[in-house]
Amino acid sequence: MEIFQIIHGHWRWILALTALLLIAKYMFALVKRSPFTALDQNVGQAFAAAMTVQFVLGLIVLIGKMSGGGFNSRFHLEHAFTGMMAVAMAHSLPMFKRSGATMKFLMGLILAILSIATAIYNVAFIRGNWFYN
């Protein structure tokens, strides 16, 4: 089970990269008033997928801690719940599928920033900071 915790710990960098890509892409598109294309949708889906992988890895680690000892119900369940909120925000962009391009980019940007801010808080809560070893 320790391998899942290691992967879960390092996957945050994939998550950070996809978040930065999405934020840069959506900000650039907002400034240029670009249409919302399939590429934009794919970038949003990649970010949501990276969040989902991180959450599933975390659940595997949580189950391992519950079955093998070292489980702190308040600490680990709060971490899981906060992670679930970050994933929910990352998957919320399709709510705006009937909106115009500007609204899709703006809401995608807001949701991505809130989602990654929640993830950063979540890592800091469990480990002390985002850059732990």
Tell which wins on pLDDT, 77 or 91. 91
Between CA 71 and CA 34 the distance in angstroms is 48
| 132 domain residue, yes or no | no
Give residue 70's pLDDT.
74
- The pLDDT tens digits for 93-120 are 889 989 999 999 999 999 999 999 998 8
Between CA 65 and CA 70 the distance in angstroms is 6
Instruction: Please state the pTM of the whole predicted model.
Output: 0.88
- The pLDDT tens digits for 11-59 are 989 999 999 999 999 999 999 999 999 999 999 999 999 999 999 999 9
| 38 domain residue, yes or no | yes
Domain span holding position 70: 2-127
Confidence grade of residue 130 (pLDDT, cut at 50, 70, 90): low
Q: Between the CA of residue 131 and those of 16, 75, 121, what are the distances in Å?
A: 12, 19, 12
| 37 domain residue, yes or no | yes
Q: How far apart are the first and last CA of the chain?
A: 18
| 77 domain residue, yes or no | yes
Tracing tokens 């985002």 back to the chain, one arrives at 130
Q: For the chain, how many structural domains are there in total?
A: 1
Tell which wins on pLDDT, 68 or 8. 8
